[in-house]
Amino acid sequence: MLTRADIGVIGGSGLYSLLDDAEEIQVPTPYGPPSDIVTVGRIGSRSVAFIPRHGRDHRFPPHRIPYRANLWALRSLGVRQVLAPSAVGSLRAEHGPGTLVIPDQLVDRTSGRAQTYYDAGHAVHVSFADPYCPSGRAVAIEAARSNGWETVDGGTLVVIEGPRFSTRAESRWFASNGWTIVGMTGFPESVLARELALCYTSLSLVTDHDAGVEAGEGVTHEEVMKFFAQNVTRMRTLVADTVEALPTEPTCPCGSTLDGLDLPFELP
């Protein structure tokens, strides 16, 4: 039975079939249980831990996901690189449904979410200028393009609180700032990964144009889920190919994020 993993995947239930030799593990954390039981298995020669972001029964809305527990659980299993597939809305007319965006920047428009591990003891200031792993991004882009997937290299993901979608005015404001896509789960997931010195790469599948981009009745949850389900096989292939191509010994700066900092506790 596998009890360790090199790579973590946080995503939807359609990704379960990724793993061979899969085992389920209960992983306790100081922040409560993760979204669900962690599944550990293999993709080729790589050991992988999978967490369904919203829970198997989709019981956690975006603002209630136990983000801190999820990332802590992955690190405690040995994970040092994380892939995060998700559904997003496009703020750009030219990036329609089916486009894959590998963002390189992020804007936080959430409120009230626990977004740090370092909220007691003493202040710890972690660099977050570039939120995503440069190595993971490059590998994901190459894997997607080699499979013929229209892929946007870079762009800004704006994360909203949810669970409601944007108004047209909000959507137009986001676009006017030059931002590219909008989602509900990319923060604090990304910053918590950074606070644990984990590589983190977002695989953002455009499922719709956001409300301010085109006329109509606006985005619905049913449409988003239906489109993502139609593309889940493609996303599984991308995740698997990216996992196998990720470096076994990362040379990116993510792992040295905490070097020289006085942490108030020991990391798992």
pTM value is 0.94
SS3 state at 202: strand
Is it the case that residue 175 has pLDDT exceeding 70? Answer: yes
Confidence of residue 218 (pLDDT cuts 50, 70, 90): low
Strand partners, 243: none
- For residue 25, CA distances in Å to 22, 73, 74, 88, 147 come to 10, 10, 11, 29, 33
Catalytic one among 57, 208, 259, 262?
A: 208
Return the pLDDT at 168. Answer: 92
**Does the annotation count 208 as an active-site position?**
yes
Q: Is 36 a catalytic residue?
A: no
Cβ(194)–Cβ(71) below 8 Å: no
Nearest of 82, 68, 81 to residue 31 by alpha carbon: 68
Does the pLDDT at position 215 exceed 90?
no
Residue among 210, 241, 259, 262 flagged as catalytic: 210
Give pLDDT tens digits for 105-130: 999 999 999 999 999 888 899 999 99
pLDDT for the residue 209 = 86
As a whole number, the mean pLDDT across the chain is: 92
The pLDDT score that the predictor gives to residue 16 is 65
**pLDDT for the residue numbered 208:** 87
Instruction: State residue 268's pLDDT score.
Output: 93
Q: What is the pLDDT of residues 47-97, one digit of tens each?
A: 999 999 999 888 999 999 999 999 999 999 999 999 999 999 999 999 999
Residue 195 has pLDDT above 80, yes or no: yes
Amino acid 220: pLDDT: 61
Is the per-residue pLDDT at 35 higher than 60?
A: yes
The pLDDT of residue 3:
80
CA distance 133 to 143: 15
Query: Residue 233 has what pLDDT?
Result: 85
Q: What is the pLDDT of residue 210?
A: 85
256 neighbors 197 (Cβ within 8 angstroms): yes
What pLDDT digit, counting tens, does each position of 86-106 carry? Answer: 999 999 999 999 999 999 999
Beta-strand pair 46-52/20-25: unpaired
- What is the reported pLDDT for 211? 77
pLDDT tops 90 at residue 223:
no
Fold entry, domain 7-254: Rossmann fold (3.40.50)
Q: What is the mean pLDDT of residues 218-247?
A: 81
